Structure 1
Amino acid sequence: MTELLAQYGLWLLFAVVLAEQLGLPIPAVPLVMLAGARVADDPLYGVLALAVAVAASALGDAAWYVAGRLHGHRVLRLLCRISLSPDTCVRQSESTFTRYGIATLVIAKFVPGLSTLAPPLAGALGMKPSAFMLFNTAGAVLWAGAALLLGLLFAAQIDAVLDALAEMGIYAAALVAVLLALYIGWRWLDRRRALRQLQSERVAPEDLLAMLDRGDAVTVVDVRSGLITEAEPVRIPGALHIELEQIGEHLHRLPRDLPLIVYCACPNDVSAVRAALKMHAAGLKHARPLRGGIDGWLAAGYRVEGLEARPS
C-alpha cells in the first residue's frame, strides 16, 4: 500500500477529491491526511498535494456551480438523487447561506452535506463567478490544508497503521473495502430514514388548482427560504409566504379546521413535509404538502402571481 501511494498518490488524491465533490459517497479527508503524513519526509510533496486537492475540489465545484447557473434551484434535485446526503441538507444549505452569505463557501467543506450542495446553490442564487471562485478556492485551501496538517501531526500513527496493513497483505484491501462498504451503507440507511419521514399524503397540483377554481376555503402556505423567493419571486395565487423556520410564530394565523396546502422548492418536498408535521403537532391536522412544490406547479403551466412581502 505504501508503494501504491508513493507511485500513484497524487493521481489517486485528485480522483478521490474530485469524486467526492461531484457527489459520490467517497470520503476524501483520510487520503488527504495520508498525503500529509509524507510531508515530514518530503515537504515538496505537501505543496503538490495541496495544489492537487485544491484543483480537484475547484473542478468539481465549478461543474456544479455552472449547473446551478444554467438550471437554477432544480439542479439540487439531481444532486440529491446521486448523493447519499439526506435531502434536508438542501434546506440547511439555504439557511446557512442566509446566515453567513458568501462566507458560506469558506466554511462549506467543513460541514457534511453543505460541501457538495453549496456550489450549485451559489450558482442558482446568481453569485458572480469571480466571487464564487475566490471564496470557494479559499475554502478549498483551508480544508485541504487542515487535513494535510492533521496528517503531518499524526504521521507516526498513520505510518503505524500503514505498516500494520502492509503486514496484513491482501486482507488489508479486504478490510478497506469492508470499511468503505459500511460507510456507504450507513449513509444509505441514513438517507432512507430521512426519506421515510416524507411519506405524508401529498396533494397533486391539479387537485389544488381544482380547489382554487371552485373557490374552496383552502389556505396555501409557501415555506421557501428568502433566498429562493428572491431568485424566483412568484407564488401560487393567494399563498402566504411564511419561511419554514418561522412557522411556529404564525400558527395562530392559520385555520385549524380547513385544508392547508404547503409547498416549497426543494427535493422530495422535504421543507413542505417538515412544515406540515409542525402544523400537525400544533393541532392543524388538515395540513398536507403539495407534490412537486412550486416547480411542479410551474411545470404544469398553472397560473402564478408576484410574491408579496413576508407577513410580519
Structure 2
Amino acid sequence: MIQIPPSAIAQWGAAAVFGNVLLTRLGVPLPSAPLLILAGSMIASGRLSFAHVLLAALCGALLGDGVWFSAGRVYGRRLVAALSRRSYALDSGMNRASQLFERHGAPIVAVSKFVPGLGLVTPPLMGTTGIAVLSFFLWDTAGIVAWAAFWLLGGALFQRQLHYALVELQMHGATVIDLLVLVGLLYGAYRLLRRREPPDRSRDDAR
C-alpha cells in the first residue's frame, strides 16, 4: 500500500499534475484525467490551489504539444508517415484529424483535446501544415484550459463522493495512489492493444 502524507500532496500536487500531463502529451501511455479529477477534489477540500494546478496542466500540455508541433515542422510528412506505421490507431487518428482540419481549420486544435485519439496526433500533424505558429498555440491554449478545467471542476463537484470512495479504499487496505497505478497499467494495456488492432477491412472497402 502506497502512502502519501497530506503535506506532500499540498507541496507536490501541482508538480505531479505537470509531470503527468507532460508525459501523456509526449506519448507515454498514462491517463491524465484521473489525476486531474483527484486534484479537483483536493482543490475543493482546500489542499490545492485551482490556479496553480490549472497552470501546471497548461504548462505540461503546451510543452508536450510544442515538442510534437516542432517535430512536425522539422520532419514534415516523414514524421506523420512514421507515426502512422507504428499502429493502426495512430494512422486512423492522423486521417481523422487531417479531414477535420481541412473541413474546420485551426479550431480543431482546441476541439481535439476532447476527442479520444486526436489529442496526441493533432500537434505533429498541424506542424506539417501551413498553420501559423501563433494561431496553433492560441487554439492549443484554449483547448488545454477548457480540457483541464473540465476535469478539475468535475473532481471538485464530486469531491464528497470521491472522499467516500477513498475511505472505502483505505478500509480495504489500499490508497488512491494504488488506484492511480492500477488505472495507469490498465490504460497502458489498452493503448498497446489499440496499437495492435488490425484495420477494419470492411470500412476500408466501403470507402
TM-score by length of 2: 0.85
Superposition RMSD on alpha carbons, in Å? 2.7
* Residue aligning to 2:105: 101
* Residue aligning to 1:128: 132
Cα separation, partners in 2 of 1:52 and 1:158, compared to 1, 3 Å: same
Q: Structure 1, unaligned stretches of length 5 or more?
A: 199-272, 280-312
Cα separation, partners in 2 of 1:80 and 1:181, compared to 1, 3 Å: farther
Residues of 1 paired with 2:125 and 2:83: CA distance?
A: 11
* Residue aligning to 2:30: 26
Q: Structure 2, unaligned stretches of length 5 or more?
A: none
Choose from 115, 118, 135 the match for 2:119.
115
Would you say 1:140 and 2:148 are equivalent positions?
Answer: no
Contact 1:18 1:56 in 2 (8 A): yes
SS in 2 for 1:114: coil
SS in 2 for 1:57: helix
Residues of 1 paired with 2:88 and 2:40: CA distance?
A: 27
Would you say 1:90 and 2:89 are equivalent positions?
Answer: no
Structure number with the bigger relative contact order (C-alpha 8 A, sep ≥ 6) is: 2
Cα separation, partners in 2 of 1:193 and 1:38, compared to 1, 3 Å: same
Choose from 59, 63, 81 the match for 1:59.
63
Letter in 2 for 1:133: F
Cα separation, partners in 2 of 1:8 and 1:163, compared to 1, 3 Å: farther
Choose from 9, 12, 31 the match for 1:8.
12
* Residue aligning to 1:74: 78
Letter in 2 for 1:37: S
Residues of 2 paired with 1:19 and 1:82: CA distance?
A: 19
Residues of 2 paired with 1:62 and 1:165: CA distance?
A: 38
Which of 162-171 and 22-31 deviates more? 162-171
Cα separation, partners in 2 of 1:100 and 1:27, compared to 1, 3 Å: same
Residues of 1 paired with 2:91 and 2:138: CA distance?
A: 27
Rg larger for: 1
Would you say 1:46 and 2:70 are equivalent positions?
Answer: no
Structure 1 position 108, deviation (Å): 1.0
* Residues 129-180 of structure 1: per-residue CA shift (max 9 Å, x gap): 1111111101111111111110111111122222333344457655544443
How many pairs does the alignment contain?
203
Higher helix proportion (structure 1 or 2) = 2
* Residues 233-285 of structure 1: per-residue CA shift (max 9 Å, x gap): xxxxxxxxxxxxxxxxxxxxxxxxxxxxxxxxxxxxxxxx965x347xxxxxx
Structure 1 position 100, deviation (Å): 1.4
Contact 1:38 1:46 in 2 (8 A): no
Identity of aligned residues (%): 35
SS in 2 for 1:116: coil
